[in-house]
Structure 1
């Protein structure tokens, strides 16, 4: 069975946690001990509060909102799933960005009484920027509008205008009631006018995320030098293959130094293999003794690679402290950590109109395009070509706090690269 990772997003109180709880409950994916604990905490009227399946923090249960990202796993006879329950409150948009970064599909919940609102637009924009191309519009709480088809149709039209604006594939619109279980796992008799699939039926049938065709990328996390009598000359480079495939005997280049060697051996679980592919954790041994350190990349000589100190990026700003041109910070690109500065803020995206507007600073939850200059060269790819090596975070030099999630949109290449192609246009 293949795996589908999806995220639920939307505004606060739209019913995201309840929807996930209903999905797990009705698909019989809740263990008996957890179910017994839930039944002891039944809400008024004897109804089990299914949101408690994901809202595990005490503050979440006290306030009735999702604060942190929660991950749930379940399996049906047709597919495996990893669910990300993201908070809807604007204060916790930064947490939603974290959850969406690894998702293949986004379920955008809309309260049938409210329709498409600002947070719906913000979350759709962020999901689109992060490379998600499968969207489900889940019009929730249909029971509170008497399962009115006209209400559902109007919301679907409004959201279609939004996805068209981002040049996204059409979202699959599904009317449902997470509280009552209508159209979540099985089709509901309360919605005779709806002839499409239930939510779970759609999740089981949506095409799997296409395996990345990006060039092979591997970044060293740890250099293994046991220096024991049994292994006096052993030198292995441990890390995770970020994309593509590596084979024994393949000629590779070390970035950013540019030194070349040949892969002598690839080890997986302390056993040598002929090849390994993403996302496997491996140890790579080279035929030559080269100066390779943590953060260096091993890239096949035949594959194009970009090393740069200057890049343009889209940032989802997560800090209450503003960003301004000239600010010094750190760039964390997987295991590489280097000092950097903001050369310029090119524009900010207005989440109401999606227009690009000039900005002197970036505030909390702003989405901005910036130019960065790093102290050390980075081996990066455009985010739309490789989500793994085209993403990074910005870190505060003093506190170590995460400031922003960044997506590489363009780079000023310096070494070992074919001419940089312009990024795919993303109209907003």
Structure 2
């Protein structure tokens, strides 16, 4: 992912044009400094003559200032982009600590908080504020005073953006597909009559809702999806981890390996608020048969309280977890889309696994925010020796015959628009 940022040149000779309407100042034409900031335009809630355009002119000696708690500065990236951080150089940032909130939006109307914190108060140069990578077009910083007074004053700021995976269309439900499907690869979508699909094993009683979605009431849910080959553990000749890594699959060459899993869920009731939805693949059944070695997986976990993390199940049951990250607000009572992406990549000449999570917070099927990005390059816990592996923390680079949509301790959940696709790694 390429990143854009740089404000090294001087101000001299750069042409700016500022148009004011009421209390808002809009930068209309972009010079080199504006382009370097990542923004195509900036606006603000107000100013004292130090206009918002000064925050993108490449000059730390100029600033935007406005008096009062809650004053804000907004930047337009010109298009929806992948955003992972914002750099801010606070005016007199070496003398006072600013209390502020960073928020992002794809449409300029609905905003999602990215950071709520204070500046260090020790430098007038750039400070970087990072957050889980997300899609955004607009960035807003709201200043709630500083350690000396109620002024909001910013000398420069810049967005840290990168290229998004090129959208490759939508599935039959109208849901955006983030990665291109593998030519001739495996693909599955939830059937109109889900209970008659022989590739789908819900292992629970499903009922149809009036809006076409499905309801399941159980404290342990495992919605299993088979490849077109189906599942038969008698056709799995070995669980030796080194052999599986070498050939790339567990049961058959079309096992679920490089996949994008998508599902929309509405949590109506949960007995444990900290439990989670898990979308996982790269193994078979998860039980104690075969010493648990069939139960390998990467599990993308979206918790009911809005947190996210990845789990690596080297065998069933042997877990490693990544740290929690804030992904969204609490899930109860609303439709949320959730994507799990796992794909093999090369790191330092060896096969590694790229793990990504995305959420669609408004259920429009289109607006996806990346909430987790992690690469297992062979140094992440695990004890693969239990199943014949030469090294304990080896990545799970092989495919498996079953992909699973799973949740526990939620006794009333609606779901719809489930899909599993084999993607280009």
- What TM-score does the superposition give when structure 2 sets the normalisation length? 0.26
Q: Say which structure, 1 or 2, has more relative contact order (CA 8 Å, 6+ apart).
A: 2
Q: Where is the strand percentage greater, Structure 1 or Structure 2?
A: 2
Q: Where is the helix percentage greater, Structure 1 or Structure 2?
A: 1
